[in-house]
Protein backbone atom coordinates (compact mmCIF):
# COMPACT_ATOMS: atom_id res chain seq x y z
CA UNK A 1 0.00 0.00 0.00
CA UNK A 2 1.44 3.34 -1.05
CA UNK A 3 0.64 6.16 1.36
CA UNK A 4 2.15 9.27 2.84
CA UNK A 5 3.92 9.35 6.18
CA UNK A 6 0.94 10.63 8.21
CA UNK A 7 1.58 10.76 11.96
CA UNK A 8 5.11 9.31 11.64
CA UNK A 9 6.93 12.23 13.21
CA UNK A 10 4.35 12.42 15.97
CA UNK A 11 4.67 8.70 16.75
CA UNK A 12 8.45 8.91 16.77
CA UNK A 13 8.39 11.61 19.43
CA UNK A 14 5.50 10.37 21.60
CA UNK A 15 6.18 6.63 21.59
CA UNK A 16 9.94 6.63 21.91
CA UNK A 17 10.26 9.36 24.47
CA UNK A 18 8.62 7.42 27.33
CA UNK A 19 9.47 3.85 26.46
CA UNK A 20 13.86 1.32 25.39
CA UNK A 21 18.02 -3.42 22.29
CA UNK A 22 21.05 -4.91 23.21
CA UNK A 23 22.83 -3.80 20.03
CA UNK A 24 20.13 -2.76 17.57
CA UNK A 25 20.05 0.95 18.37
CA UNK A 26 22.70 3.51 17.45
CA UNK A 27 22.76 4.56 21.13
CA UNK A 28 24.30 1.24 22.08
CA UNK A 29 27.91 2.39 21.94
CA UNK A 30 27.00 4.85 24.69
CA UNK A 31 24.71 2.47 26.49
CA UNK A 32 27.30 -0.31 26.59
CA UNK A 33 29.61 2.01 28.45
CA UNK A 34 26.88 2.72 31.01
CA UNK A 35 24.68 -0.37 31.11
CA UNK A 36 24.25 -3.12 33.67
CA UNK A 37 27.37 -5.25 33.44
CA UNK A 38 29.48 -2.52 31.87
CA UNK A 39 31.17 -0.02 34.17
CA UNK A 40 31.44 3.39 32.50
CA UNK A 41 33.80 4.75 35.13
CA UNK A 42 36.27 1.92 34.65
CA UNK A 43 36.11 2.40 30.90
CA UNK A 44 36.72 6.14 30.92
CA UNK A 45 39.33 6.06 33.65
CA UNK A 46 41.25 3.16 32.15
CA UNK A 47 41.12 0.84 35.15
CA UNK A 48 41.38 -2.95 34.76
CA UNK A 49 42.12 -3.03 31.04
CA UNK A 50 45.82 -3.69 31.25
CA UNK A 51 46.47 -3.95 35.01
CA UNK A 52 47.49 -7.21 36.64
CA UNK A 53 44.41 -7.13 38.89
CA UNK A 54 41.04 -5.41 38.83
CA UNK A 55 40.94 -3.26 41.96
CA UNK A 56 37.87 -1.07 41.54
CA UNK A 57 35.50 -2.07 44.33
CA UNK A 58 34.58 1.53 45.08
CA UNK A 59 32.88 1.93 41.68
CA UNK A 60 30.99 -1.32 41.94
CA UNK A 61 30.02 -1.03 45.63
CA UNK A 62 27.05 1.22 46.23
CA UNK A 63 27.55 1.42 50.00
CA UNK A 64 23.97 0.35 50.77
CA UNK A 65 24.83 -2.41 53.21
CA UNK A 66 21.69 -1.41 55.10
CA UNK A 67 18.48 0.08 53.73
CA UNK A 68 17.08 3.37 55.00
CA UNK A 69 14.50 1.71 57.23
CA UNK A 70 17.18 -0.42 58.89
CA UNK A 71 19.78 2.30 59.28
CA UNK A 72 17.76 4.53 61.61
CA UNK A 73 17.40 2.06 64.48
CA UNK A 74 20.97 0.92 63.98
CA UNK A 75 22.12 4.50 64.13
CA UNK A 76 20.31 5.01 67.45
CA UNK A 77 22.03 1.93 68.89
CA UNK A 78 25.50 3.39 68.23
CA UNK A 79 27.39 5.25 70.93
CA UNK A 80 28.51 8.86 70.27
CA UNK A 81 32.08 7.62 70.01
CA UNK A 82 31.12 5.18 67.30
CA UNK A 83 29.18 7.64 65.16
CA UNK A 84 29.91 11.35 64.88
CA UNK A 85 27.72 13.59 62.70
CA UNK A 86 29.47 14.75 59.54
CA UNK A 87 28.66 17.78 57.38
CA UNK A 88 27.78 16.11 54.07
CA UNK A 89 26.14 17.68 50.98
CA UNK A 90 22.48 16.73 50.68
CA UNK A 91 22.93 15.00 47.31
CA UNK A 92 25.42 12.53 48.79
CA UNK A 93 24.35 12.34 52.42
CA UNK A 94 22.21 9.20 52.21
CA UNK A 95 24.93 7.02 50.67
CA UNK A 96 27.70 8.36 52.90
CA UNK A 97 25.67 8.09 56.08
CA UNK A 98 24.94 4.48 55.20
CA UNK A 99 28.65 3.83 54.76
CA UNK A 100 29.51 5.57 58.04
CA UNK A 101 26.92 3.53 59.94
CA UNK A 102 28.07 0.29 58.33
CA UNK A 103 31.74 0.96 59.08
CA UNK A 104 30.96 1.96 62.68
CA UNK A 105 29.00 -1.24 63.32
CA UNK A 106 31.74 -3.37 61.85
CA UNK A 107 34.35 -1.56 63.95
CA UNK A 108 32.23 -2.07 67.08
CA UNK A 109 31.86 -5.78 66.32
CA UNK A 110 35.54 -6.03 65.29
CA UNK A 111 34.61 -7.58 61.95
CA UNK A 112 35.71 -6.69 58.44
CA UNK A 113 33.22 -4.89 56.20
CA UNK A 114 33.85 -6.28 52.74
CA UNK A 115 31.82 -5.09 49.74
CA UNK A 116 29.85 -7.65 47.75
CA UNK A 117 32.13 -9.15 45.07
CA UNK A 118 31.38 -7.56 41.70
CA UNK A 119 31.85 -8.72 38.13
CA UNK A 120 35.16 -8.01 36.42
CA UNK A 121 33.84 -5.81 33.67
CA UNK A 122 36.77 -5.67 31.28
CA UNK A 123 39.67 -7.80 30.11
CA UNK A 124 43.37 -7.27 30.47
CA UNK A 125 44.82 -6.12 27.19
CA UNK A 126 43.44 -4.36 24.12
CA UNK A 127 41.04 -7.11 23.04
CA UNK A 128 37.74 -6.75 24.89
CA UNK A 129 35.69 -9.50 23.25
CA UNK A 130 33.45 -10.27 20.29
CA UNK A 131 29.68 -10.29 19.79
CA UNK A 132 27.39 -12.21 17.46
CA UNK A 133 23.64 -11.52 17.19
CA UNK A 134 20.88 -12.77 14.90
CA UNK A 135 17.34 -11.48 14.47
CA UNK A 136 14.14 -12.10 12.57
CA UNK A 137 11.24 -9.75 11.72
CA UNK A 138 8.26 -11.82 10.66
CA UNK A 139 6.03 -11.07 7.68
CA UNK A 140 4.31 -12.72 4.72
CA UNK A 141 6.95 -12.65 1.99
CA UNK A 142 4.25 -13.07 -0.68
CA UNK A 143 2.91 -9.57 0.00
CA UNK A 144 5.34 -7.85 2.38
CA UNK A 145 8.93 -8.12 3.66
CA UNK A 146 10.37 -10.56 6.19
CA UNK A 147 13.85 -9.59 7.42
CA UNK A 148 16.61 -11.80 8.85
CA UNK A 149 19.67 -10.08 10.34
CA UNK A 150 23.17 -11.11 11.38
CA UNK A 151 25.57 -8.85 13.32
CA UNK A 152 29.22 -9.58 14.12
CA UNK A 153 31.64 -7.20 15.87
CA UNK A 154 34.86 -7.15 17.88
CA UNK A 155 35.78 -4.57 20.53
CA UNK A 156 39.26 -3.12 21.21
CA UNK A 157 40.43 -0.57 23.79
CA UNK A 158 43.35 1.61 22.69
CA UNK A 159 45.08 4.02 25.13
CA UNK A 160 45.81 7.45 23.63
CA UNK A 161 48.96 8.41 25.49
CA UNK A 162 47.69 7.31 28.91
CA UNK A 163 45.22 5.01 30.60
CA UNK A 164 43.01 8.02 31.38
CA UNK A 165 42.39 8.52 27.67
CA UNK A 166 40.95 5.46 25.91
CA UNK A 167 39.61 5.05 22.40
CA UNK A 168 37.17 2.17 21.92
CA UNK A 169 37.25 0.73 18.39
CA UNK A 170 34.57 -1.71 17.19
CA UNK A 171 34.92 -3.11 13.66
CA UNK A 172 31.63 -4.67 12.62
CA UNK A 173 29.61 -6.17 9.77
CA UNK A 174 25.84 -6.51 9.56
CA UNK A 175 23.73 -8.27 6.93
CA UNK A 176 19.98 -7.77 6.42
CA UNK A 177 18.40 -10.51 4.29
CA UNK A 178 15.13 -9.35 2.69
CA UNK A 179 12.58 -12.03 1.82
CA UNK A 180 10.05 -9.98 -0.10
CA UNK A 181 7.41 -10.08 -2.80
CA UNK A 182 8.87 -9.54 -6.31
CA UNK A 183 6.48 -6.64 -6.89
CA UNK A 184 8.22 -4.66 -4.13
CA UNK A 185 11.45 -4.54 -6.15
CA UNK A 186 13.81 -5.03 -3.19
CA UNK A 187 17.30 -6.55 -3.23
CA UNK A 188 17.87 -9.95 -1.63
CA UNK A 189 20.29 -8.53 0.94
CA UNK A 190 21.88 -5.29 2.09
CA UNK A 191 25.03 -4.87 4.19
CA UNK A 192 26.55 -2.38 6.62
CA UNK A 193 30.23 -2.63 7.55
CA UNK A 194 32.59 -0.17 9.19
CA UNK A 195 34.37 0.80 12.40
CA UNK A 196 32.76 2.51 15.40
CA UNK A 197 35.09 4.84 17.30
CA UNK A 198 33.98 5.82 20.82
CA UNK A 199 35.79 8.35 23.03
CA UNK A 200 34.92 9.87 26.39
CA UNK A 201 36.60 13.00 27.73
CA UNK A 202 36.10 14.09 31.38
CA UNK A 203 35.83 17.88 31.65
CA UNK A 204 35.56 18.07 35.44
CA UNK A 205 34.34 15.86 38.28
CA UNK A 206 30.74 16.00 37.10
CA UNK A 207 30.81 16.98 33.44
CA UNK A 208 32.09 14.85 30.56
CA UNK A 209 31.82 14.72 26.78
CA UNK A 210 31.23 11.55 24.76
CA UNK A 211 31.68 11.12 21.03
CA UNK A 212 30.92 8.36 18.55
CA UNK A 213 32.00 8.39 14.91
CA UNK A 214 31.25 5.53 12.51
CA UNK A 215 32.50 5.60 8.92
CA UNK A 216 30.83 2.75 7.04
CA UNK A 217 29.80 1.24 3.74
CA UNK A 218 26.05 0.63 3.42
CA UNK A 219 25.34 -1.23 0.20
CA UNK A 220 24.06 -4.34 -1.54
CA UNK A 221 27.57 -4.63 -3.07
CA UNK A 222 26.05 -4.28 -6.56
CA UNK A 223 26.09 -0.50 -6.27
CA UNK A 224 28.75 1.55 -4.50
CA UNK A 225 27.58 5.01 -5.55
CA UNK A 226 26.75 6.84 -2.32
CA UNK A 227 27.53 3.74 -0.24
CA UNK A 228 29.99 5.53 2.05
CA UNK A 229 28.14 6.97 5.03
CA UNK A 230 29.05 8.65 8.29
CA UNK A 231 27.27 8.28 11.58
CA UNK A 232 28.15 10.79 14.29
CA UNK A 233 27.01 11.47 17.82
CA UNK A 234 28.12 13.90 20.51
CA UNK A 235 26.80 14.27 24.05
CA UNK A 236 27.54 16.31 27.12
CA UNK A 237 26.81 14.35 30.30
CA UNK A 238 26.36 16.03 33.68
CA UNK A 239 26.31 14.03 36.90
CA UNK A 240 23.47 15.82 38.66
CA UNK A 241 23.59 13.37 41.60
CA UNK A 242 26.81 11.29 41.49
CA UNK A 243 26.16 7.57 41.06
CA UNK A 244 22.40 8.25 40.94
CA UNK A 245 21.32 10.69 38.24
CA UNK A 246 22.98 12.03 35.10
CA UNK A 247 21.55 14.30 32.41
CA UNK A 248 22.70 14.33 28.79
CA UNK A 249 22.18 16.44 25.72
CA UNK A 250 23.62 16.54 22.24
CA UNK A 251 23.01 15.74 18.60
CA UNK A 252 22.88 12.62 16.43
CA UNK A 253 23.78 12.55 12.73
CA UNK A 254 22.34 9.27 11.46
CA UNK A 255 23.53 9.21 7.86
CA UNK A 256 19.99 8.23 6.85
CA UNK A 257 17.88 9.92 4.20
CA UNK A 258 14.63 10.04 6.20
CA UNK A 259 15.88 11.39 9.56
CA UNK A 260 19.41 12.70 8.96
CA UNK A 261 19.66 14.60 12.27
CA UNK A 262 18.03 13.86 15.62
CA UNK A 263 18.39 15.30 19.11
CA UNK A 264 20.19 13.17 21.67
CA UNK A 265 18.66 14.07 25.04
CA UNK A 266 17.71 12.21 28.19
CA UNK A 267 18.61 11.08 31.64
CA UNK A 268 20.11 8.07 33.38
CA UNK A 269 18.60 7.39 36.80
CA UNK A 270 19.73 4.59 39.11
CA UNK A 271 17.47 4.82 42.19
CA UNK A 272 18.70 1.44 43.47
CA UNK A 273 21.39 -1.07 42.41
CA UNK A 274 18.71 -3.32 40.88
CA UNK A 275 16.96 -0.63 38.80
CA UNK A 276 18.18 1.49 35.93
CA UNK A 277 16.15 4.04 33.93
CA UNK A 278 18.08 4.94 30.80
CA UNK A 279 15.58 7.38 29.26
CA UNK A 280 17.54 8.52 26.24
CA UNK A 281 15.74 9.78 23.14
CA UNK A 282 15.49 8.26 20.62
CA UNK A 283 16.14 4.82 22.19
CA UNK A 284 15.19 4.54 25.88
CA UNK A 285 15.52 1.48 28.12
CA UNK A 286 14.38 0.47 31.62
CA UNK A 287 16.33 -2.39 33.21
CA UNK A 288 15.82 -4.46 36.35
CA UNK A 289 18.31 -6.91 37.84
CA UNK A 290 16.58 -10.24 38.48
CA UNK A 291 19.48 -12.22 39.92
CA UNK A 292 23.04 -11.71 41.12
CA UNK A 293 25.66 -14.36 41.85
CA UNK A 294 28.27 -12.04 43.45
CA UNK A 295 31.46 -11.94 41.44
CA UNK A 296 30.16 -14.50 38.93
CA UNK A 297 27.08 -13.40 36.98
CA UNK A 298 24.06 -11.09 36.81
CA UNK A 299 20.68 -11.48 35.09
CA UNK A 300 18.85 -8.38 33.86
CA UNK A 301 15.42 -7.91 32.25
CA UNK A 302 14.61 -4.80 30.24
CA UNK A 303 12.00 -3.06 28.13
CA UNK A 304 13.22 -0.77 25.38
CA UNK A 305 12.06 1.38 22.51
CA UNK A 306 14.07 1.22 19.28
CA UNK A 307 14.19 3.47 16.25
CA UNK A 308 15.16 0.91 13.61
CA UNK A 309 16.19 1.15 9.98
CA UNK A 310 18.96 2.43 7.73
CA UNK A 311 19.79 3.77 4.25
CA UNK A 312 21.76 1.70 1.71
CA UNK A 313 23.07 2.19 -1.82
CA UNK A 314 21.48 -0.46 -4.07
CA UNK A 315 21.13 -1.39 -7.72
CA UNK A 316 17.63 -1.51 -9.19
CA UNK A 317 16.68 -4.23 -11.72
CA UNK A 318 17.11 -1.65 -14.47
CA UNK A 319 20.78 -1.37 -13.52
CA UNK A 320 20.45 2.15 -12.15
CA UNK A 321 21.88 3.00 -8.73
CA UNK A 322 19.43 4.15 -6.10
CA UNK A 323 19.21 4.65 -2.32
CA UNK A 324 16.92 2.39 -0.28
CA UNK A 325 15.70 3.49 3.17
CA UNK A 326 13.88 1.14 5.53
CA UNK A 327 12.46 2.30 8.86
CA UNK A 328 10.39 1.05 11.79
CA UNK A 329 9.64 1.56 15.48
CA UNK A 330 9.94 -1.27 18.04
CA UNK A 331 8.94 -2.05 21.58
CA UNK A 332 11.18 -4.83 22.90
CA UNK A 333 11.24 -7.07 25.98
CA UNK A 334 14.60 -8.67 26.68
CA UNK A 335 16.62 -10.65 29.17
CA UNK A 336 20.42 -10.60 29.44
CA UNK A 337 22.83 -12.82 31.34
CA UNK A 338 26.21 -11.21 32.05
CA UNK A 339 29.41 -12.94 33.14
CA UNK A 340 32.92 -11.70 33.90
CA UNK A 341 34.99 -9.94 31.23
CA UNK A 342 32.07 -8.90 28.99
CA UNK A 343 30.87 -12.44 28.35
CA UNK A 344 27.18 -13.28 28.23
CA UNK A 345 24.08 -13.74 26.12
CA UNK A 346 20.66 -12.14 25.56
CA UNK A 347 17.27 -12.84 24.02
CA UNK A 348 14.51 -10.47 22.92
CA UNK A 349 10.95 -10.49 21.65
CA UNK A 350 9.26 -7.39 20.33
CA UNK A 351 6.48 -5.66 18.45
CA UNK A 352 7.47 -3.84 15.23
CA UNK A 353 5.23 -1.14 13.81
CA UNK A 354 5.23 2.01 11.70
CA UNK A 355 7.22 0.07 9.08
CA UNK A 356 7.98 1.41 5.62
CA UNK A 357 10.59 1.53 2.88
CA UNK A 358 11.26 4.09 0.15
CA UNK A 359 13.59 4.72 -2.76
CA UNK A 360 15.25 8.11 -3.21
CA UNK A 361 14.18 8.16 -6.89
CA UNK A 362 10.48 7.71 -6.08
CA UNK A 363 8.20 10.32 -4.49
CA UNK A 364 6.17 7.93 -2.31
CA UNK A 365 6.93 5.34 0.35
CA UNK A 366 5.58 1.81 0.80
CA UNK A 367 4.04 1.06 4.17
CA UNK A 368 4.38 -2.44 5.63
CA UNK A 369 2.32 -4.41 8.12
CA UNK A 370 3.01 -4.33 11.85
CA UNK A 371 4.49 -7.60 13.07
CA UNK A 372 6.61 -9.36 15.73
CA UNK A 373 10.33 -9.94 16.00
CA UNK A 374 12.87 -12.17 17.75
CA UNK A 375 16.53 -11.49 18.45
CA UNK A 376 19.32 -13.25 20.35
CA UNK A 377 23.06 -12.93 20.70
CA UNK A 378 26.19 -14.01 22.55
CA UNK A 379 29.29 -12.14 23.78
CA UNK A 380 32.51 -14.10 24.14
List C-alpha distances in Å: 191 to 30, 37, 135. Answer: 23, 29, 14
Q: For residue 348, count other CB atoms closer than 10 A to its CB.
A: 23
| Bigger pLDDT: 105 vs 78 | 105
Res 111: pLDDT: 54
Among candidate residues 372, 319, 364, 380, the one with its CA nearest the CA of residue 2: 364
Residue 199's H or E segment, with its range, is strand 189-202
Res 276: pLDDT: 97
Percent of the chain surpassing pLDDT 70: 69
Res 100: pLDDT: 60
Model pLDDT for residues 44-73, shown as the tens digit of each residue: 333 333 333 333 333 332 333 323 333 333
The whole model's pTM is what? 0.72
Res 105: pLDDT: 56
Q: State how far the Cα of 52 lies from the Cα of 243, in Å rounded to an integer.
A: 26
Model pLDDT for residues 147-160, shown as the tens digit of each residue: 999 999 999 999 88
What DSSP state is assigned to residue 187? -
Angle at 281 between CA 279 and CA 306, to 5 degrees: 95
Q: State how far the Cα of 280 lies from the Cα of 275, in Å rounded to an integer.
A: 16
Q: For residue 102, count other CB atoms closer than 10 A to its CB.
A: 18
Domain 2-45+119-379 belongs in CATH node 1.10.8: no
Domain boundaries, the chain: 2-45+119-379, 62-109
Model pLDDT for residues 173-226, shown as the tens digit of each residue: 999 999 998 888 999 999 999 999 999 989 999 999 999 999 999 999 999 888
356-377: average pLDDT: 94
| Bigger pLDDT: 146 vs 1 | 146
Residue 168 has pLDDT above 60, yes or no: yes
Amino acid sequence: MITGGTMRSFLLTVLLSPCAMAQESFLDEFRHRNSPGRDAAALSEGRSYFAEEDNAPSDAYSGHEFGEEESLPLERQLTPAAYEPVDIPDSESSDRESRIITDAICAEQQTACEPTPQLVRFRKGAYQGSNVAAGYIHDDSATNVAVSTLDVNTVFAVPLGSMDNLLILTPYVRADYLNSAPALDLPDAVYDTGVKAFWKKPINDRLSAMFLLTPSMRTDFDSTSGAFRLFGMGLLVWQAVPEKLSLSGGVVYTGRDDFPVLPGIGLLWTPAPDWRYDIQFPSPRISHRLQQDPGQSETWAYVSGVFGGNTWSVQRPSGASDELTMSDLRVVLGIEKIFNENRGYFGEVGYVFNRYFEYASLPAQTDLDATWMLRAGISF
